[in-house]
Amino acid sequence: MKAFQALLSTKTPLGTWLMAAAPNTAEALGHAGLDFLVVDMEHVTIEFSDLAHILRAIGCTPSVPVVRLAWADKVLVKRAMDAGAETLMLPFIQTTEEAREAVSYMRYPPHGVRGVAAVHRGSRFGTLPGYLVGAHERAYSILQLETPEAVANLDAIAAVEGVDAIFVGPGDLSAAMGHIGDIGHKDVQELIAHAAKAATKAGKPIGIVGPNPTMVRRFLDYGYSFAAVSSDMGMMTSRAGEWLAELRQVQAPAASQSAY
């Protein structure tokens, strides 16, 4: 069974975003009890050489790594999977055509169009028996829907063969709806709740990220299958602000409403 699929079969997985680009931080949070860790290659200065080190660090822990790429791009997908990533989050999927293309990048022919190399970290440097013929069975795709148009197409996207899970990006969704930085806005929350119901009806796991436990609990009450809370940097700066406020006896800064 695929690693992320195994998580979903036993619990409601909880994770966080990795924004620090640091193997030690990733390893520490993996040991802290988080079920999955999202390695963000979209908004963080993580190169593929860094990715391999971060995946090694997470591999020392019980946590499952999820690699969020900068785009659903054939070359980026190939490089991430050759580096050892098996669960990929691909951003800004809008249509069934884009969904079909995205999952094809994760599979070798005849199942897809992933480029073939014999020796790389994903195949344990060529020592994993049957890797080429079975790699598509190890790959897990999480497609991000980040606009009202994408959410409107959720049923059709979820039905595409090879799409394993859906993920709502609340930050971009709120921006696309004219409420940038305010994922708590009533209209945004209504669409987020609608997406959870639509995914449940389609029989597809759906995830999301929230800035704090209160918001994440709300998302889980909507019916989300898995959720990330804040990020390594978000938790660190928030805790630092709280402790400094206590020591200086001043009010702590208001918590950010951004997703991570």
Could you give the residue numbers annotated as active site? 43
Provide the sign of the torsion angle of the four alpha carbons 176, 74, 18, 157, taken in this order: positive
Q: CA–CA separation, 166 vs 260, rounded Å?
A: 18
E strands of the chain, at which residues?
14-18, 36-40, 64-68, 87-90, 140-145, 165-168, 206-210, 226-231
Judge contact between 16 and 229, C-beta under 8 A.
yes
Q: CA–CA separation, 59 vs 9, rounded Å?
A: 20
Work out the end-to-end distance of the chain between its first and last CA atoms, rounded to an integer number of angstroms: 29
